[in-house]
Structure 1
Amino acid sequence: MTSAETNSSPLDISATPAPADVDQERADLLQTLAAHRGFLRFTARGLTDEQAGQKSTVSALSVGGLIKHVTATESAWYRFMMGGPDLMMSEVGDWEDEHRMNPGEKIEDFLARYEEVGKRTDEFVRTADLDKIWPLPVAPWFEPGGTRSIRRVVLHLIAETSQHSGHADIIRESIDGQRTMG
């Protein structure tokens, strides 16, 4: 965590400054995504690797596994925004493995990778044509013949990050009582 993350509340969206070098829509999208990434990172603050991999609820999820998953998901959608379905599917991983923290894996490594992926996404969104539309890859979870604009992908990343941040918050509270909200 950076000193700014340590000293500011994860709930204070104003602690994530709006980028000054982009139009208002991009600033809103980037600031919102940054805030929700901050919420997710906050859930890992102070956890040991063992705690980050702990399954503390009836779910098979862990804080570390969620960060690993959100990183892989954002990376896949980044590839989609860059070049469409073929590029998105160019790196297909082990879906089950990307949801868990395996022995020997480090939460610090997951957070560093998450930061790298986020910076890469943010740089792309700063200049991308948000109206660019790509066809979705063929997959059971996508509607046949569906498409996504880059704008809609960014909105999906915000929703995905937010949803999994909530999951991580519940898991973290079950570990040691720390909560992001309240």
Structure 2
Amino acid sequence: MNTPPAAALPRERADLLETLGKHRGFLRYTVRELTDEQAVQRTTASALCLGGLVKHVSGVEARWIRFVLGGADAMRSEPVDWEGQFRMDDGETLAGLLAAYEEVAARTDELVATLPDLDAAHPLPEAPWFEPGATWSARRVLLHIIAETAQHAGHADIIRESLDGARTMG
């Protein structure tokens, strides 16, 4: 993909990409040098594991970018395994999950750089966690992706520290 350098983008888009990139980087750094066996381990009371977090964040970002491009129907165009999205399945590797995440990130970055209007909006899908009749702009979706990525990077940091003492920050 030919995403222009951040410096060549309008300030808002560059800021969005820089912030999203920073939190993606925290997540990637947190899972550095792990084996697949470590990436699948649960180290806290939750069912979360490091590989599952990478898988989840990648899937969430991909779904929301489909929403930006085509609305709720596009978002629902691929089935979601709501429980399975948080775990590494047999045959999945951390390297494979990270490679898939890189592809999703590249598509998102390209979209942010080229989307004609960040104010373009679609009605949200019907779900108990969305206000009925609400719409989200591309900008709002990007802010949500940033928040989701940051939140799960924090979860990953706690899991990694519990796993082997390594920390992302500090």
Could you list the runs of 4 or more consecutive aligned residues of structure 1 that deviate by over 4 angstroms after TM superposition? none
Q: CA deviation at 1:139?
A: 1.3
Pick aligned residue for 1:68 from 48, 55, 63 = 55
Q: Which residue of 2 aligns with 1:158?
A: 146
Q: Which residue of 2 aligns with 1:147?
A: 135
TM-score by length of structure 1 reads 0.89
Pair 1:95-2:82 in alignment: yes
Q: Deviations over 1:68-102 (max 9, x none)?
A: 00000000001001111110111121110001112
TM-score by length of structure 2 reads 0.95
**What is the letter of the counterpart of residue 92 of structure 1?**
P
Identity %: 63
Pair 1:21-2:1 in alignment: no
Aligned equivalents of 2:38 and 2:89: distance in 1? 12
**Structure 2: 5+ residue runs without aligned partners?**
none
**Structure 1: 5+ residue runs without aligned partners?**
1-17
Tell which has more relative contact order, 1 or 2 (C-alpha 8 A, sep 6+).
Answer: 2
Would you say how many aligned residue pairs link Structure 1 and Structure 2? 165
Q: Which residue of 2 aligns with 1:122?
A: 109
**What is the letter of the counterpart of residue 167 of structure 1?**
H
Q: Deviations over 1:29-62 (max 9, x none)?
A: 0000000000001111000001000001111000
Q: Which residue of 2 aligns with 1:105?
A: 92
Moved more, 120-129 or 96-105: 96-105
**What is the letter of the counterpart of residue 154 of structure 2?**
G
Q: CA deviation at 1:24?
A: 0.5
CA RMSD of aligned residues (A): 0.9
**What is the letter of the counterpart of residue 141 of structure 1?**
W
Q: Secondary structure at the match of 1:173?
A: helix
Q: CA deviation at 1:156?
A: 0.5
Aligned equivalents of 1:102 and 1:127: distance in 2? 35
